[in-house]
Chain A
Amino acid sequence: GAVVSQHPSWVICKSGTSVKIECRSLDFQATTMFWYRQFPKQSLMLMATSNEGSKATYEQGVEKDKFLINHASLTLSTLTVTSAHPEDSSFYICSARGPGVSGANVLTFGAGSRLTVL
């Protein structure tokens, strides 16, 4: 079946550094990917929609300069948390729409990336 891979699965960094998280669709092309943030014991909060070849669409309240999204190819989207601070510590999850027409409205999720900012 369809697989979405996220890397790294866990990253610990110092405050002020930038961290890049990758999201790859392994066996299908994903023109649209989504980035979510999940706080402990809470639901997923959509941060942005990543569209291949165009700018990401950010949800209200999400700082686009803080969370840079790049969708350079049909199988890769990256989320860069710039100048990370402890409050950015969270679980970041990506998902991809598809594959195929029948799966166009079904999301395949990555395993998530835990960011801990010291």
Chain B
Amino acid sequence: AQRVTQPEKLLSVFKGAPVELKCNYSYSGSPELFWYVQYSRQRLQLLLRHISRESIKGFTADLNKGETSFHLKKPFAQEEDSAMYYCALSGGAGNMLTFGGGTRLMVKP
């Protein structure tokens, strides 16, 4: 079975502060990990995926197989980063995507 855990429901930081949204997963094989973001009144959209190894909007995430984590990080948070963030796991092409419970990020001015 595959499981994704986001331990924080809410994360509040000040503008310019570093931010880290935690994600831990449980999966017996080689997972593919994603971060999806939902801004206010917008649809859910892909932020980044671990196989791309890229930085999107200043966010990065590294897959740590030893710790089974895929934490999302940004060195300097911006107010426009305020949104709901979901970590998701897939067991491979054709497999379903399992979402974590989501973390609401609030960036205060």
**A interface vs B, CB < 8 Å?**
32, 34, 42-44, 46, 49, 93, 95, 104-112
Is the pair B43, A107 in contact by a Cβ cutoff of 8 Å?
no
Decide: A107 near B97, CB < 8 A? Known: A93-B44, A112-B43.
yes
Q: Nearest-CB distance from A62 to chain B (Å)?
A: 13
- Chain A contacts for B49, CB-based, 8 A: 105-106
The residue from B46, B96, B101 contacting A42, defined by CB atoms under 8 A apart: B101
Q: Is B32 an interface residue (CB 8 A)?
A: yes
Q: How far is the CA of A106 from the CA of B90 in the complex (A)?
A: 9
Tell me the nearest residue of chain A to B100, going by C-beta: A43
| Number of B residues, CB within 8 Å of A | 22
Is the pair B45, A109 in contact by a Cβ cutoff of 8 Å?
yes
Q: How far is the CA of A95 from the CA of B90 in the complex (A)?
A: 14
Q: How far is the CA of A11 from the CA of B97 in the complex (A)?
A: 27
Q: A104-B94, A105-B49, A105-B93 are in contact. List 12 more A-B contacts (CB 8 A).
A: A34-B96, A42-B102, A43-B102, A44-B44, A46-B96, A46-B98, A93-B44, A95-B44, A107-B36, A108-B46, A109-B36, A109-B45
Q: Nearest-CB distance from A111 to chain B (Å)?
A: 4
Q: Is B70 an interface residue (CB 8 A)?
A: no
